[in-house]
Structure 1
């Protein structure tokens, strides 16, 4: 976790240094050439460093240790950093669109000197390289803030490149596409800004577990000899590196409490060491042998599994003392009236065991 944050901070410092050096270069050239436009562009580069500053602040704050009010730590602060940067990108796109529309309605002929074109070209190259580097690092480190910061630099370069291209077309063919090209690129940036907002917001709201991670966890837990089924996997994100959740496993009812205790310890240790997941393991007992419990389990499970609208049946429990049985189901996502389905299933099972109390618990699939 610490190493990851150090890489995020180092990448952000590279972004700040690049923007400051570029701003210094533009300022020097602008002052020597008495170009207000170049000097103002230098100021813009300083403001671009803000994304990197926000990323650093977010990474630093996310490292704060858990306290009484925040027992799961401060990892989710990274998501807020990404949201702020995404808003900056979105604002840039909207501002650019407004200016582009103005140019469409009232075209102006761009004025570029040779020196200005050289400075702008250098700035574009630096921004493209910087943006690609920061974004790539963000993808490797799974940092939405770095990805958004890198995208911010790339979009800045694209906007400048579009201005340069439109200026060249204007000078060569006397055709003004500055406003139109700017509007098209602005729309792309606005859409990208919205997409950037989606990822951290979904993380804060609670997104589903990626299918790849789900399959890996189920496979790893299923590899334990005593496990005969993995169910009810739930994970909560408290930052990119902190996950807390629970799952259930099937074991034979012949296992002792001591053996079950050992099994759950081994499962929790494995998932923490391999994925950094703090997991709670629940137990479902599979009835074995020739007895009333095993007979009821077979009858009820087969009856429920025959329904196409049911994705999964598990967690069968029978209490001879209370004369009741309980079983969990996972309905298909297309089932909208779960209460009606549950009532229908209870009535169906009661026909098979009319002398017993029947309880059907509806679970949900929290994975992709």
Structure 2
């Protein structure tokens, strides 16, 4: 799976470069500021793909003495970088839109330019959908962030295409710059969303509520012989889920018996939650808080 993930990240870079070439060609034959803004966003796609490729390679490195919990959070740093680059692209586009408002000109070669732009969009739609599904399946923040930005690019390009049809139909050159400004605002919103989601991962955000419920149910149903479990904590780091909690057992229970219970819980949790790291702290019954999970 790791080799396939790396291959997909590499393919994303190749596709990003190809789409970038198409969009700059569309801009070069039309002179449209809106298409230029769309091409600028594709530069961010290429940077995003490079960041994702580096992050995926780094995240696959095994844990070592300096990073005993592994390199999985590298993908979150990549996603934050993507968000920042998206915002930079939006600022560049707003700059071009301003100059366009100052000196409006009608784009040239409308049919050819729109056809090339549409072809680039079709490629992005297909790849973004595949990337999103695969990224969620392997829980790769870098690939998911890449897919989100590609879909933002798709929405922007579709808006630009329809808008340019309106520009050609009405002959109002200033609409070209207005379209570029709208693209920039859409990109800004996308960049903020990517940064917000990635910062959550860097801050050790807990797993979703439905996963938390699954974890609690598994502990309750597989800890036969224990008394309760409390102080359950979870966090997400890339594709890995970390779970730690305290397990209260009878004071007279042997270490070997307590260890067997822990093994049973860990086995069930690994079946229920993918890519999980589990830490269980065993405590005697006088440490019970009567506020955690009662073993059933």
What TM-score bracket applies, with the shorter chain setting the length?
A: 0.7 to 0.9
Question: For residues 14 and 236 of structure 2, what CA distance do their matches in structure 1 show?
Answer: 32
Q: For 1:174, which of 149, 154, 171 is the aligned residue?
A: 171
Cα deviations by residue, 1:175-199 (Å, 9 ceiling, x for unpaired): 4433334333322321221111112
The answer to whether the 8 Å contact 2:22/2:117 transfers is no
Question: For residues 139 and 245 of structure 1, what CA distance do their matches in structure 2 show?
Answer: 20
Cα deviations by residue, 1:62-119 (Å, 9 ceiling, x for unpaired): 1222222111221111111111122222222232233334444554333334322322
Residues 100 and 154 of structure 1: is their aligned pair in 2 closer, same or farther, counting only changes over 3 Å?
farther
CA RMSD of aligned residues (A): 3.4
Cα deviations by residue, 1:234-254 (Å, 9 ceiling, x for unpaired): 23444322x444212343445
Q: For 2:259, which of 258, 261, 265 is the aligned residue?
A: 261
Question: For residues 218 and 71 of structure 2, what CA distance do their matches in structure 1 show?
Answer: 29
Structure number, greater radius of gyration = 1
Q: For 2:113, which of 113, 116, 127 is the aligned residue?
A: 116
Question: For residues 82 and 181 of structure 2, what CA distance do their matches in structure 1 show?
Answer: 21
Show the counterpart of 2:233: 234
User: Which structure shows the bigger proportion of residues in helix conformation?
Assistant: 2
Is 1:127 the equivalent of 2:124? yes
Question: For residues 193 and 26 of structure 1, what CA distance do their matches in structure 2 show?
Answer: 21
Q: 1:1-368, aligned counterparts within 5 Å?
A: 3=1, 5-22=2-19, 35=29, 48-104=45-101, 106-175=103-172, 176-224=174-222, 225-241=224-240, 243-253=241-251, 255-272=253-270, 274-275=272-273, 276-286=275-285, 315-316=287-288
Cα deviation for residue 270 of structure 1 reads: 3.5
Question: For residues 44 and 202 of structure 1, what CA distance do their matches in structure 2 show?
Answer: 25
Q: How many residues align?
A: 285
Question: For residues 257 and 134 of structure 1, what CA distance do their matches in structure 2 show?
Answer: 47
The answer to whether the 8 Å contact 1:72/1:238 transfers is no
Q: Give SS of 1:246's match.
A: strand
| Higher normalized contact order (CA 8 Å, seq sep 6+, divided by chain length) | 2
Gaps of 5+ in 2: none
The answer to whether the 8 Å contact 1:135/1:147 transfers is yes
Cα deviation for residue 13 of structure 1 reads: 2.8
Which deviates more, 87-96 or 273-282?
273-282
Cα deviation for residue 205 of structure 1 reads: 1.6
The answer to whether the 8 Å contact 2:140/2:238 transfers is no
TM-score by length of 1: 0.66
Gaps of 5+ in 1: 288-314, 317-326, 331-368
Q: Give SS of 2:64's match.
A: coil
